[in-house]
Each structure stands twice: as structure tokens, then as C-alpha cells.
Structure 1
């Protein structure tokens, strides 16, 4: 198990983590910042110059999960992980990777009033010569912006008037009570190419329905991986029912077949998008969400989708919408139409 201690710089995560080691038998301190430091040595300077923080490195986020799995094969756990985590998409990616490896997570937030945080940051700066002061202070704004989603998920402990030992005792009580347990879908990572089927559903304004998964970054289309022996369209119908509680009737028209090339660590495979038709207002109002898999849904225009979808899914959507208007499906390779007499005509 991982005990993820979130919070702003100055909240007392690291000092409480060391105290917590005495209160949780078998526990081990796991600081992902060490992985970031190693990547700074390994990666080219030109590459590092493109990111503001090592958390922006996809390799860091993947190594955090891989290293945790390796450590838990050596020690009983839990792994006490004091690490500020403010970007929700990074939370989804890493916690989803933990779930795929069957590693449960308890997410706990150590919170303190801003005046106290600033005082603690100044005290730390006086001890280390001020090298970290500006960095820590620059994250107080993003912390306040991230606080609503963190508090909605994590169990909060106010450390404003607590020292490290009392904070650790509160943490131990919360962990023992199962507080902050992350309810997330356990989707095993693929070990080979996969076929996935997505369903595009529309409202009466021809906006498309997107869903927000808890286990990976970015928004997505309803749907999922096709199981062995299952027809892709049937897989899409099954996933829509499992995800949204919506039963689709009738045949589905294929809009896009996109071969996604392997890109390590991903294996790629075939991605299919079907036209699920237009939902009546009553159907949309009755949509359900399984909290372990999806946290939200919304109908969006193509322009609005550009703000939510990762680039590869956005290009797939754009092709699907144009194929829908043209009444002719498109075959893509890596998101690029091919095999049509005039693919450019379909995309206009």
C-alpha cells in the first residue's frame, strides 16, 4: 500500500513522514523526489529545459509507479510518500498506474493556513541559505487553486497548530481507519496490442459526450478495450452501459478505424469509433457515473473538446465528426487518414 502525503511546501509532510515510520510497523519512506534527481543526471539538458518541474516528465510519473511496485516486492509496506501533487491529470496517471499494479493508495492532505506555511518556508530558508524559498513560495498559488479537488478526494489533517509527532499520530489514526482510500478502477496494463471501441453520443445541439476517467489523464470517449471473442461494437455497447447506465439499441455505424502505432511503453493497437446517435434530453439526465472509473461527463463542441482531449484523441474525434457528416467511415494510421480516394475531401 502507498500512503500519499499531499500538501503545500511547509505543511510538514516530510517531518511527519519520518515520525510516521515509528507508528506503522513495516513502513518505508518512499520519496519520489529522488527519482526526479536521478533523471536530472540522466536526461539531456536540452530535454530538461523544456519542462518546469520534474513532475512534468512522463518518465518520472511512470517510474514512480514502477519503483513503488519494485519496492513492495522487497518490503512489506506501506510506502510513506511525502510529495506535493497539484495537477489532477498527474494524479490520474500515477494513481491509475498504482491501481493497474494492484497497489492500493490512501491519499491524505496535510493542510496549514497560508501565514503558517510562509513562516515555515522562511524558517527552512534560513537554515538552507534561502535556496528553496522562492521555489516554495511560487507554489502557494497553484496549491490554493488545486485545493478544491484535493480536499474532495483526500482525507485532510490540519497541521496549522500541530508538530510533526502529533501530525504523525493523526495520520496513523486516519490510515488505520481507512481514510483517504482511493476508489479507482483497476485496469491491468496491456501486455500486447489491444482493440478498443469508443462510442460517440450526441445531444440535440450535435455536441459530443466526453467522460473524465479517474485512472488516466485527459478526457475520453465512452468505451473501452474489446475482450477476447467479443465484437467491437458489442464491446462499445457494453462499456457505455457499464460506465453510464445507458442501454444502446440498434446497429452502430463505424466512423473511424485508427491504427495506433506502438510507442513504448504503450503497445498501440486498433482504435474504433462508432456513432451512437443522439440522446434525448431525458436520457442524458439519467446518465450514471461509477465513481471508481469516471468523475464526470459533459457535452462539448469540437472547439471545447480541444481543451479537454489529448492530441491523439482530438485528431481521432475530428476525423470521426467529418466522417459522420460525409456519411463515409475513415481509416486512419496514427491519426492520419489513408486509403481513401480523396481523404482531404472528407476532412473539409
Structure 2
């Protein structure tokens, strides 16, 4: 298990983490900042010049998960992880990958009032000769912006007037009571090429339905991995029923086949999109969400989808919408349409 102590700089995460080691038998301090420092030492300066924070490195996010899983083969756990995590897409990627490794996460927010945080930041900056004054206000703004989604899922401990020991005691009590447990779908990481089937569903304005997974970054189409021996179109329909509680009236026709090349550590495979047709108002009113897998859905235009979908999925959507207009399926390789008829 990982006890993830989230919060702004100055909330007391690290000092509470050390106290927590005494209160949780078998626990080990796991600080992902060490991984960031290692990457800073190893990566070329040209790569580092393109980022402001090591959390932007996909390698860091992957290594956080891999290192945690490796540590838990050496120690009983839990791992105490004092790490600020303010971007929801990074939370989805890291927590989802941990769930895929069957590593449970307890997410706790150590929160302090803004005047307290500013006072602690100033004290730290003075001790360090002012080095943290430049980024402190920016992090506070990012923290305030992230509070709505963090407080919606994490158990909050207000540290404004607590000592590190008192904070650790409240965290230990919360963990004992089962607080902060993350209910995330456990999707095993692929070990070979996969076939995945997505289904496009439209409203009366021809906007497409997107869903927001809890276990990976970015929005997605309803759908999932095709099981061995399963017909892809039926797999797409099955996933729609499981994810949204919606049963399609007919087998959906194919729109796009996209061959995704292997890019280590990803294995690639075939990505198919089917046309699930237009939903009526009654169908829309009946949509359900499995909380462990999806946190939300919305109908979007192609332009709005560009703000939500990662580039490969957006390319696939655009090709699927084109296939829908021309009336026949299109084939893609690596997100690029090939072999289209008559240049259409």
C-alpha cells in the first residue's frame, strides 16, 4: 500500500511522513523527488530545458510506479510518500498504473490555510537565502486551482495548527478508519500487442460522447480491450454496456482501423472505432458511470474534443468523423490515414 501525502509546499508533508514511520508498523519513506533528482542528473540539458518541473517527464511518472512496486518486493509497506501532486492527469496516470500493479493507494491531503503556507514558505526562503521565494506564489495558485478535485477524493487533514506529530497521528487514525482509499479500476498493463474497440456515440447535434477515465490521463471514447476470441464489434458494445449502462440495439458498423506501432514501453496493436449511432434524450438520461473506472462524460464538438483528447485519440476521432461522412471505413497507421479511396 502507498500512503500518498498530497499538499502544497509548507503543509508539513515531509515532517509528518517521518513521524508517521513510528506509527505505521513496517512503513518505509518513499520520496519520488529523489527520482526527479536522478533524472535531472542523467538527462541531457537540452531535454531539461524544455520542462519547468520534473513531474512533466513521463519517465518520472513511470519510474514512480515502477520503483514503488519494486520497493514493495523488499519491504512490507506501507510506503509513505510525501509528494505534491496537483495535475489531475498525472494523478490518473500514476494512481491508475499503481492500481494495475495491484498496489492500493490511500490519498490524503495535508492542508494549511494560505497565510500559514505563506509564512512557512517565507521562513524556508529565508533559511535558504531566498531560493524558494520565486516559485512559492506560483505553486500556491496551482494548489488553489487543484483543491476542488483533490478534496473531492482525498481525505483532508488540516495542519494549520498541528505539530508534525499531531498531523501524523491524525493521518494514522484516518488510515486505520479506511479513509482516503482510492477505488480505481485495476486494468493490467499489456504484455503484448492488443486490439481495442471504441464506440462513438452521438447526440442530436452530432456531438460525440467522451468519457473521463480515473485510471489514465486524458479523455477517451467508451470502449476497451477486446478479449481473446471476442469479436471486436461485440467487444465495443459490451464495453458500452459495462461503462455506461447502455445497450446498443445493433452491432455497430466499423469507422476506423488504426495500427498503433510499438513504442517501448508500449506494445501497440490495433485500435478500432465503431459507430454507435445517435442517442435519444431518454438514452442520455439513463447513462450510468462506474465510479472506479469513469468520473464523468460529456458530448463535445470536434473543436472541444481537441482540448480534451490526447493527440493520437484526436487523430483517430477526426478520421472516424471523416469516415462517417464519406460512408466507408478508413485505415490508419500510427494515426495517419493511408490507402483512402479516390483521395476522399
Provide the TM-score with structure 1 as the length reference.
0.98
1:245 aligns with 2:245: yes
Distance between the aligned counterparts of 2:252 and 2:281, measured in 1? 20
| Counterpart position of 1:134 | 134
1:332 aligns with 2:332: yes
Distance between the aligned counterparts of 1:72 and 1:251, measured in 2? 44
1:1-348 residue pairs with structure 2 within 5 A?
A: 1-343=1-343, 345=344
Unpaired stretches in structure 2, ≥5 consecutive residues: none
Q: Contact conserved, 2:237 with 2:251, CA < 8 A, in 1?
A: no
Q: Contact conserved, 2:237 with 2:252, CA < 8 A, in 1?
A: no
SS at match of 2:341: coil
Q: Which runs of 4+ in 1 moved over 3 A?
A: none
Q: Contact conserved, 2:184 with 2:215, CA < 8 A, in 1?
A: yes
Deviation by residue 1:237-275 (Cα, 9 ceiling, x = unmatched): 110011000001213110000000011111000000000
The alpha carbon displacement at 1:124 in A equals 1.4
Number of matched residues? 344
Distance between the aligned counterparts of 2:46 and 2:288, measured in 1? 46
Q: Contact conserved, 2:234 with 2:251, CA < 8 A, in 1?
A: no
Deviation by residue 1:130-165 (Cα, 9 ceiling, x = unmatched): 222322332000100000000001000001110100
Q: Contact conserved, 1:256 with 1:319, CA < 8 A, in 2?
A: yes
The alpha carbon displacement at 1:337 in A equals 1.0
Q: Contact conserved, 1:202 with 1:277, CA < 8 A, in 2?
A: yes
Distance between the aligned counterparts of 1:126 and 1:17, measured in 2? 23
SS at match of 2:258: strand
Q: Contact conserved, 1:121 with 1:137, CA < 8 A, in 2?
A: no
SS at match of 1:134: coil
Unpaired stretches in structure 1, ≥5 consecutive residues: none
SS at match of 2:297: strand
Q: Contact conserved, 2:113 with 2:160, CA < 8 A, in 1?
A: yes
| Two-structure CA RMSD over aligned residues (Å) | 0.7
Distance between the aligned counterparts of 1:227 and 1:102, measured in 2? 20
Deviation by residue 1:84-111 (Cα, 9 ceiling, x = unmatched): 0000000000000100100000000000
Q: Contact conserved, 2:243 with 2:288, CA < 8 A, in 1?
A: yes
